[in-house]
Amino acid sequence: MVSRVIPVDPFDLVIFGGTGDLARRKILPGLYRRFWAGQVPDGFRIIGAARTDQDSDVWRDFVREAITEFVTEAKREPETIDAFLAQLHYIPVDARGDSGWPELAEMMRGDVTQAFYFSVGPGLFGDLAERLQRFNISCEDCRIVVEKPFGRDLSSAKALNATLAEHFDEQQIYRIDHYLGKETVQNLMAVRFANVLFEPLWNAQYIDHVQITVAEEVGVGGRGGYYDKSGAMRDMVQNHLMQLLCLTAMEPPSRFGPDAVRDEKLKVIRALDPLGQGDIVRGQYTAASGEPSYLEDVENPDSRTESFIALKVHVANWRWNGTPFYLRTGKRMKARNSEIVVTFKEPPHSIFDADAGSRANVLSIRLQPDEGMDLRVTIKEPGPGGMRLVDVPLDMSFADALGPEAADVPDAYERLIMDVIRGNQTLFMRGDEVEAAWAWTDPIIAAWTERGDRPLPYAPGSSGPEDALILMHKDGRRWREIA
Ligand code: NAD
């Protein structure tokens, strides 16, 4: 297979929060993997900037350990790691004070691409943006990358957007949603818009319903304090699940470019109907076999925050009238499994005997654990005994079709960071999109808060509360097994 990677210009990438958990687990190992793959240009530099007072050598040791822990052995060649670490520098910087900023200004090169990754809590975004400008570090073409959570409601998101807009243009702001960096999510767009096969059927006339599941096996663990103020709706639905919904439901953009794609996603969010009480099921996991319950995990016996949510959502436009989108996400579920499942309608008339069986076509787009797509088609069961129908997978496995290296797809973070360096915002959220998503979720959260609703208990290792199953059963449908 011929590699057709778009070349990248030399860059200075500053990681604010370079000693933090996200930098250690995702950003730095991801950058190393791109370097290992030969996709990072000569002359790049990565500058760690954080509160800890330490020198570059100590930070390089930290990065070496991160690579050892999070990069597969086959890619950990000692010379390659050394060459990567040689391009790394560290500067202690106080986001809330003035120390470290003159040194950082001194370090930056004016003649290369400059990007600043805000891998710190959102409370520091404004401080960083203001200081980048005040110390003359930011430039017209500089990019900033901001992490979730982007606000906790519409007013805080608006305030955050306004603060960033004081110092940077929208074209410079890259709001990360790492779900958009996943290979299969982008493949969803390729399947929809690079084939004539699917798009004519991609509407309420032929699609019965869509399910989007993001299930996690883990509980809230050490993040209990943060999570309890947030909950599944804010932490997962407002961003990740809504982004997946948008890509599934949007109209074909005129081109695969930042504004064309984001305009179409925005239209989907604006077309979402308000939700009624009967469209929502919220849950909290209980204790089991020595593992603490949600309430114990967050150390709040009266918490009404949900660790699980299922929703029935309507996109109110011509294309989707009558085709519901069922969304669910939760912690401590049966398995770690994220997928978009598009269930088509059954043929309007069957020419086969009733006992031949009939099945709907199902297209599933798996995000994790193994990225891939699968289309189930109905065929005749081989062998004698008349016409019996059976559904089989028309498997779209990248490795089988394109060679083993095609299966070695970059992690979402590394792909997105390289897009920042290339200056491509297509897979990043625009400010108005984020605000529109909060504008839809805010009244839903306000309604259950006002009613004082308590989430329903569900057993760890299950598919959520019984009522989530009923949400679909009452429509004559069922969730796909979480496996
Ligand atoms: P962390 O607490 O592990 O690290 C925070 C970093 O910020 C540290 O490097 C610390 O030195 C730096 N910092 C804090 N105060 C500072 C100051 N005044 N001046 C300079 N540096 C300062 O946090 P994290 O888990 O790495 O998360 C970083 C951001 O990414 C947060 O916004 C978080 O919500 C988001 N995020 C994290 C994850 C994850 O898996 N960890 C996932 C998604 C989003």
The pLDDT tens digits for 28-56 are 999 999 999 999 999 999 999 999 999 99
- Provide mean pLDDT across the span 319-327: 98
333 is written with which tokens?
Answer: 């579920």
Cα 400 to averaged position of ligand 1 atoms, centre (Å): 39
Residues 281 and 357 grouped into a single domain: yes
| CATH code for the domain of 348 | 3.30.360.10
Q: Residue 388: its pLDDT value, please? A: 82
Residues 202 and 325 grouped into a single domain: yes
- Provide mean pLDDT across the span 137-157: 94
- Domains in the chain: how many in total? 2
Residues 115 and 196 grouped into a single domain: no
Residue 157 lies in a domain: no
- Check if 240 is active-site: yes
- Provide mean pLDDT across the span 125-131: 96
| CATH code for the domain of 129 | 3.40.50.720
Write out the binding residues. Answer: 17-24, 51, 148, 178, 182, 216, 235, 331
Q: Residue 396: its pLDDT value, please? A: 65
Residues 327 and 209 grouped into a single domain: yes
Evaluate if residue 68 carries a pLDDT over 70: yes
Last residue in a domain, options 97, 128, 147: 147
- Provide mean pLDDT across the span 371-396: 83
Residue 43 DSSP SS3: coil
Q: Residue 1: its pLDDT value, please? A: 40
pTM, entire model? 0.94
Active site residue: 89, 167, 209, 240, which one? 240
Residues 291 and 345 grouped into a single domain: yes
- Provide mean pLDDT across the span 437-461: 97
Q: What are the beta bridge partners of residue 342?
A: 210, 363
Last residue in a domain, options 147, 166, 195: 147
Are the C-beta atoms of residues 204 and 322 closer than 8 Å to each other?
Answer: yes
Q: Residue 406: its pLDDT value, please? A: 61
Residue 218 lies in a domain: yes
Residues 204 and 80 grouped into a single domain: no
Q: How confident is the model at residue 389 (pLDDT cuts 50, 70, 90)?
A: confident
Domain boundaries, position 96: 11-147
CB within 8 Å of 105: residues ≥ 6 apart? 135, 136, 137
pLDDT tens, position by position, 236-281: 999 999 999 999 999 999 999 999 999 999 999 999 999 999 999 9
Cα 292 to averaged position of ligand 1 atoms, centre (Å): 26
Residues 81 and 221 grouped into a single domain: no
Q: Which residue has the tokens 């309604």?
A: 447
pLDDT tens, position by position, 169-195: 999 999 999 999 998 888 899 999 999
Residues 309 and 416 grouped into a single domain: yes
Q: Which residue has the tokens 């915002």?
A: 425
Residues 124 and 206 grouped into a single domain: no
- Which parts of 273-431 are beta strand (E)? 280-285, 308-313, 325-330, 337-344, 362-368, 372-380, 389-396
Residues 54 and 202 grouped into a single domain: no
Residue 154 lies in a domain: no
Residue 346 lies in a domain: yes
pLDDT tens, position by position, 200-225: 999 999 999 999 999 999 999 888 88
- For residue 239 and ligand 1, the question of a CB distance below 6 A is answered with no
Q: Residue 478: its pLDDT value, please? A: 96
Q: What are phi and psi of 374, to 5 degrees?
A: -150, 130
- Provide mean pLDDT across the span 77-101: 97
Residues 264 and 185 grouped into a single domain: yes
Residue 240 lies in a domain: yes
- Provide mean pLDDT across the span 86-113: 96
pLDDT tens, position by position, 467-480: 999 999 999 999 99
Q: How confident is the model at residue 348 (pLDDT cuts 50, 70, 90)?
A: confident
Residues 141 and 281 grouped into a single domain: no
- For residue 63 and ligand 1, the question of a CB distance below 6 A is answered with no
Residue 142 lies in a domain: yes
